[in-house]
Amino acid sequence: CGVFGIWAPGRDVARLTYFGLRALQHRGQDSAGIAVGDGQTVLVRKDLGLCGQIFSDADLAAMPGKVAVGHVRYGTSGARSWEAAQPHLSTIGDVIIALAHNGTLVNSDKLRLELIRLGVPFLSDTDSEVAAKLIGYFTEQTSHIREGIRNAMEMIEGGYAMALVRENALYAFRDPHGIRPLVLGKLDDDSWVVASETCALDIIGAKFQRQVRPGEVIRISDDGVVSEQAVEPRACATCIFEHVYFARPDSVVNGRSVYSMRYEMGRQLAREAPADVDLVIGVPDSGLPPAEGFAHELGLPFGEGLIKNRYVARTFIAPTQEMREMGVRMKLNALPDNVEGKRIVMVDDSIVRGTTSKQIVRMLKEAGAKEVHVRINCPEVKWPCFYGIDTAVQSQLISARKDPEEVCDFIGADSLAFLSLEGLLRSVPTDGYCDACYTGRYPVEIPPAFSAGKFL
Ligand code: 5GP
Ligand code: SF4
Ligand code: MG
């Protein structure tokens, strides 16, 4: 998911949030929503679909206010429904808040039952609504939203980056491991912005200030910006898959663009698994920068071999295998002019189920490629993610069951190699990372009830 928040009295906060969400649309296409605080109350508008389809000019004009949050959803918990769309509104007593959440909570089922017992109603089955109601409940109990957020952060476990709006203030906070990303930016008139990625700051002309720290709560209101370490930070475990696949290449993390990291992954991959070929191609979009790096490292030509239809959303969202297979063909087509008669290296970001690679290899061969050598710029995905990326249950992860040679056979490639974990870590800034989908080393313990049926 993508989250965005803005505190900008005197500005059109709903419209600026809309622009921020457009820049974060790659982070989720299930639903989108905006919540505005106008000093008196909080108004939410959300729906299924892309934000460009949901919000008209008139809708945005009808949402005046000085503070807002927005969300684009990529469902990892709960069904794809209007009720599951965010921001989630929580009205308990006279406390009205709206919450936008990126990530997944691993213990929300237990907390939901406790809240239901306390008489708190639920509209959806999502973990995010549990977080919203939990914060609302504790805020009502303690009369302080700081206490509400702190109490909730002490209870919820998992990966989360959240932006919350009240009638007159914006709050932003991250889980104590910093699994999901969140950055703070500033407009030139002392307005403040938070967003999942810096590309959402760029679009509205905000300047990057810093990352929201793990376990930190930032409050932005008429009293300015106040930071509080609400819960003790734990070992830093930023999601490394953001750098491999999820984030936009023009986003910057620790002073380095995601593009430059992916380029470096490709160079590293070329050193680890070179190939004697005529052309290096990348699978658009996230395979392109590492393909460029791969070609550069070996002094090989880099060119376009696959053309992407830019009007089709990411394929992972499609629920059934049949739709997923259709999805790849709707999205990508081979370019025979460049690949015919050639030995090709095809670089892609990851193999999850193997569906995408299999179809692309076939497409390239049908377009006349003599050999197709697949290079993947991350290690084998062997473990499910429980912190906000939908990498399927373990039995569906092809590398959990097959070694690289068998996967190579399955996808019909002439050779296959994955970037090593060491090589991946060498290509990114030296933070602490979560790499559980490759190693099974989960930074936050997964309760058995939550992982039931998801491991082999
Ligand atoms: P596979 O077809 O092997 O199941 O999936 C791999 C392809 O899906 C890769 O091309 C990658 O770009 C994309 N992908 C990998 N993980 C995700 C994810 O979590 N979400 C989305 N939307 N796409 C993904
Ligand atoms: Fe990211 Fe993988 Fe960790 Fe999930 S398991 S948070 S995808 S690194
Ligand atoms: Mg892809």
For 284-319, the pLDDT digits (tens) are: 999 999 999 999 999 999 999 999 988 876 544 555
Domain of 121 in residue numbering reads as: 2-234
Q: Say whether both 263 and 360 belong to one domain.
A: yes
Residue 241 lies in a domain: no
Residue 31 lies in a domain: yes
CA distance 411 to 167: 53
Q: Say whether both 225 and 310 belong to one domain.
A: no
Q: Say whether both 201 and 328 belong to one domain.
A: no
Q: Say whether both 273 and 179 belong to one domain.
A: no
Annotation marks residue 1 as catalytic: yes
Q: Say whether both 134 and 213 belong to one domain.
A: yes
Binned at pLDDT 50, 70 and 90, residue 235 comes out as: very high
> Residue 75 has what pLDDT?
72
| Ligand 2 contact, 387 CB (< 6 A) | yes
CATH of residue 185's domain is 3.60.20.10
Place of tokens 């089709």: 312
> Residue 319 has what pLDDT?
59
Helices (H), 173-287: 199-202, 241, 258-272
Tell me: the pLDDT tens digits for 111-128? 999 999 999 999 999 999
Query: Of 177, 201, 234, at which residue does a domain stop?
Result: 234
Q: Say whether both 306 and 228 belong to one domain.
A: no
CATH of residue 300's domain is 3.40.50.2020
Q: What is the ipTM of this complex?
A: 0.93
Q: Say whether both 52 and 167 belong to one domain.
A: yes
Q: What is the mean pLDDT of residues 209-232?
A: 98
Residue 249 lies in a domain: no
Task: Give me the number of domains the chain comprises.
Answer: 2
Which residue owns the Cα nearest ligand 1 atom 23? 316
Q: Say whether both 85 and 230 belong to one domain.
A: yes
Q: Say whether both 92 and 28 belong to one domain.
A: yes
Residue 440 lies in a domain: no
Calculate how far, in angstroms, residue 158's C-alpha sits from the geometric centre of ligand 1: 22
Tell which atom from ligand 1 comes closest to the C-alpha of 324: 2
Q: Which residues line ligand 1 (CB under 6 A)?
A: 245, 283, 286, 314, 316-317, 348-357, 389-391
Q: Which ligand is nearest to the CA of 410?
A: 1
Residue 217 lies in a domain: yes
Task: Residue 418: name the closest of 272, 287, 275 by CA.
Answer: 272
CA distance 204 to 201: 6
DSSP one-letter string for 394-412: GGG-HHHHS-HHHHHHHHT
Helices (H), 187-305: 199-202, 241, 258-272, 288-298
Q: Radius of gyration (Cα) for the chain, nearest Å?
A: 22
Query: Of 200, 234, 268, at which residue does a domain stop?
Result: 234
Are 185 and 195 in contact by the 8 Å Cβ rule? The answer is yes
Tell me: the pLDDT tens digits for 351-397? 999 989 999 999 999 999 999 999 999 999 999 999 999 878 999 99
Residue 382 lies in a domain: yes
Q: Say whether both 61 and 201 belong to one domain.
A: yes
Q: Say whether both 400 and 321 belong to one domain.
A: yes
Name every residue whose Cβ is closer than 8 Å to that of residue 78 and which is 6 or more positions away in sequence: 84, 124, 125, 126, 127
Q: Say whether both 62 and 208 belong to one domain.
A: yes
Are 375 and 430 in contact by the 8 Å Cβ rule? The answer is no
Tell me: the pLDDT tens digits for 49-94? 999 999 999 999 999 999 999 999 987 666 778 999 999 999 999 9
Which residue of 179, 245, 286 sits with most ligand 2 atoms within 8 Å of its CB, as the best mutation to test the pocket? 179
Tell me: the pLDDT tens digits for 129-182? 999 999 999 999 999 999 999 999 999 999 999 999 999 999 999 999 999 999
Q: Which ligand is nearest to the CA of 308?
A: 3
